[in-house]
Amino acid sequence: MTTFEWILLINAITAFILVFLEEKRPRKAVAWLLLMFLLPIGGIVLFIIFGQNLRKTKRASRKSARDRKYVHDLIEAHRIDYLTALSSLEKVGMESHDDMVQLLVNNGNSFLTHDNEAEVFSDGKEFFDALFRAIEAAREHVHVQYYIIRNDKLGRSFLDLLRRKRAEGVEVRLLVDGMGTRLPPRCYRSLHDAGVEVEMFFPPLVRMMPFLNHRINFRNHRKIVVIDGRIGFVGGYNVGDEYLGKVRRWGYWRDAALRLEGMAAMALQLRFILDWNEASKDKMDVEERYFPKEAPRRGKVPVQIVSSGPDTPWAPIKLSYLKMIHEAEESVYIQSPYFVPDESVRDALTMAALAGIDVRIMIPDKPDHPFVHWVSLSYLCELLPSGVKGYMYGSGFIHAKTAVVDGRIVSIGSANWDVRSFELNFETNAVLYSKELAGVQKDAFLDDLSRCCEVTVEGCEGRSLLVRFRMFISRLFSAIL
């Protein structure tokens, strides 16, 4: 056989395997087949790197089973009463959302916590000031999980703080993603020398070369910090100067995060332990010192910590977004730097807009990934005729991943409104059933509109051929982003 015939044969075999693996997602299979047709060799290489389906591996099944056991152990240890938690919704006028609570309990083991104090952050300086103060006050342990920690001024200050707390006798663990965080070896050595326990989630084949990673698709995108099992932080901020708005390329960095105190902090603690045990040989257990029963519980905000990833069968975060849209009676306000919704999400947004719901979606005007930006714009233009309103944030870069419905329910976390966050990455959001906190986020969204330009049907139809071509090509391969 000639070289060309061998290429065709290998391409055909790979295509057969692809169709078999993606029988439930034909659109994704078609996108891969098209890429293999256009790039016979390159398409195969890209499929090997990006086309793995972690959901179908035994490792994912085992992790899912372990996660369920740990959640059960925590519930038993603290006698979390599901009916009592549900009754808390009545106290805050949220009893109509008990079916959403049930959905997330059944789908993602996201037990409802009802004794929380919560604070919303949308400014980087305010967020990191609060985070550093909370870590400074730690007395027992600090557990940190980030997708990105930069080797810049903020990143080095953050790592210095962790080393300093360890020197004070505080137990410190740091979990970073093997592709997102690219610290030099000396940083890891200094952390180890200081006694900080450091682990890497799905590390690259060579630590100095994070791009040599056979799991490019399955990244731990979560951003979680837990202090003494009492205070938790979750949201969209990573650790780096750009998140303070100090990188000229981006300007002001608009993001969103939460400080939680109460049982929700313990739910974040559990999430950290589950991910730590996946990455480390030094396993952690549900010990009382990590889940203090005597922790003060003065708050009244019901919260569910919702996590999803390739180890969860029914995409809990995506379904939480869908459920929020379907429950809307007045408004749905969404912010996301990447907006690549699948058909179910597009249909839900379209139905809501056609039913007279005020649906507004905000994306950045300044893209950090041009390919994803054109896809986002394409999907936004598609939704406009149904009555959805689209906006591009122009005062810096918007990185917030938020959804607020009727000024009653708000979701803030790490998950973008795209296929990668829905299916491929490990993500964590907090869903708050609170008119006060949802009102804060709604007001922030409306305030951000003054810094946006509206995307109109006329503007979409009047775009140049070059822009239309970019949008078309990006949309064509959006299923395999």
Catalytic residue list:
221, 223, 228, 399, 401, 406
User: Are the C-beta atoms of 441 and 469 separated by less than 8 Å?
Assistant: no
How does DSSP assign 277-306, residue by residue?
HHH-SS-----GGGS-TT------EEEEEE
Distances (CA, A) of 381 to 63, 123, 455, 470: 39, 29, 8, 14
Ranges of beta strands (E only) in 322-388 are 331-335, 339-340, 358-364
User: Are the C-beta atoms of 412 and 234 separated by less than 8 Å?
Assistant: yes
> How, if at all, do strands 389-393 and 358-364 pair?
parallel
Give the list of residues 6+ apart from residue 150 with CB closer than 8 angstroms, or none.
238, 239, 240, 241, 242
Cα separation, 220 vs 426, whole angstroms: 5
Q: What is the CA radius of gyration of the chain?
A: 22
Ranges of beta strands (E only) in 152-252 are 171-177, 197-201, 224-227, 231-235
Question: Token pair for residue 338?
Answer: 């990447």
Cα separation, 179 vs 207, whole angstroms: 9
Residue 255 CB burial class (10 angstroms; 0-12, 13-18, ≥19): buried
Cα separation, 447 vs 451, whole angstroms: 8
Question: Token pair for residue 161?
Answer: 């703080």
Neighbours of 275 (CB within 10 A): 24
Q: Which residues of 45-61 are buried (b: 16+ CB within 10 A; e: fewer)?
A: ebbeeebbbbbeeeebe
Question: Token pair for residue 58?
Answer: 């035994």
Cα separation, 375 vs 342, whole angstroms: 12
